[in-house]
């Protein structure tokens, strides 16, 4: 078996007010796996995603990305390996143009202008938004913004994609476009979502979280036909 892209062992995290957000989380993702992360609001899904590139720092346990410990010393390398896409694209888009938004990461990495241009073109091509480079991000639709937000992390050439509620707020056409894009991506992928029909279509493996713990982890078909499991953890059969 190849080295895991994501390796989490007995991870614990509590917020400053003492609320326990993650408790004894164990999770391994292997290269190229696309895994859905489901559960009720407050289950710890977003908190877990924020740990993958060090935005939040675990208090006990082990967390490695492509064999690299997630710690202060490795933070720059880890953030290049993990592309985190927030639920709201407005949290990710802040530059004057789409090009500037997508170029921000490669520029921060210290790449030369020609390399930055190449990265931006490649990332926009991956999300089929090549013609939007000179557009203003905040004038785009929600679906277009989400694709640009995805391009901003693809420009960093990550090994792992971590997406928080990617289909939230999308109309049917934009949702279908997003599902198709995600199905094409070769990266290891962990996606927190309430969209169980998307889970059934796109992911072969599903992890259920509740109250900061992983309560189930298995083949998507098996998880989604377990009505008692879904009901117990605030989910409905798709």
CATH architecture of the domain with residue range 6-232 = 3-Layer(aba) Sandwich (3.40)
Looking at residue 1, its pLDDT comes to 55
Tokens of 165: 């509620």
**In the sheet where 188-192 sits, what is the strand order?**
82-85, 160-164, 188-192, 34-38, 205-210, 213-219
d(CA 220, CA 201): 9
Closest alpha carbon to 44 in 27, 62, 68: 27
DSSP states of 182-233 as a string? HHH--SEEEEE-S-HHHHHHH-SEEEEEETTEEEEEEEHHHHHT-HHHHHHT
The answer to whether the CB of 109 falls within 8 A of the CB of 137 is no
| Sequential pLDDT tens for the chain (238 residues) | 579 999 999 999 998 888 899 999 999 999 999 999 999 999 999 999 999 999 998 889 999 999 999 999 999 999 999 999 999 999 889 999 999 999 999 998 899 999 999 999 999 999 999 999 999 988 899 999 999 999 999 999 999 999 999 999 999 999 999 999 999 999 999 999 999 999 999 999 999 999 999 999 999 999 999 999 999 999 988 8
d(CA 9, CA 224): 25
d(CA 167, CA 146): 9
Can you say whether residue 214 is alpha, beta or left, with left for phi > 0 and alpha for psi between -120 and 50 degrees? Answer: beta
Give the global pTM: 0.93
Looking at residue 238, its pLDDT comes to 83
d(CA 125, CA 144): 13
d(CA 66, CA 149): 23
Looking at residue 57, its pLDDT comes to 87
Helices 113-126 and 98-108 pack at an angle, to 10 degrees, of 120
Looking at residue 40, its pLDDT comes to 95
């Amino acid at each position: 078996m190849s080295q895991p892209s994501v390796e989490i062992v007995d991870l614990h995290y509590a917020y400053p007010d003492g609320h326990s957000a993650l408790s004894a989380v164990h999770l391994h993702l292997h290269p190229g796996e696309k895994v859905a992360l489901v559960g009720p609001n407050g289950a710890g899904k977003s908190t877990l995603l924020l740990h993958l590139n060090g935005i939040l720092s675990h208090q006990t346990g082990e967390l490695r990305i492509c064999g690299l410990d997630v710690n202060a010393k490795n933070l720059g390398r880890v953030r290049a390996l993990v592309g985190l896409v927030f639920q709201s694209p407005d949290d990710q888009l802040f530059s004057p143009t789409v090009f500037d938004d997508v170029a921000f990461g490669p520029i921060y990495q210290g790449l030369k202008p020609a390399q930055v241009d190449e990265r931006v073109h490649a990332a926009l091509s991956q999300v089929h938004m090549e013609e939007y480079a000179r557009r203003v991000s905040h004038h785009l639709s929600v679906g277009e913004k989400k694709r640009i937000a995805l391009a901003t992390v693809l420009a960093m050439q990550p090994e792992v994609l971590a997406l928080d509620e990617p289909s939230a707020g999308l109309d049917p056409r934009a949702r279908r476009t997003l599902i198709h894009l995600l199905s094409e991506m070769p990266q290891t992928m962990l996606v927190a979502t309430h969209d169980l029909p998307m889970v059934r279509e796109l992911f072969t493996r599903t992890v259920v979280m509740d109250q900061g713990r992983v309560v189930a982890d298995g083949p998507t078909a098996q998880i989604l036909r377990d009505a008692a499991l879904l009901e117990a953890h605030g989910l409905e059969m798709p």
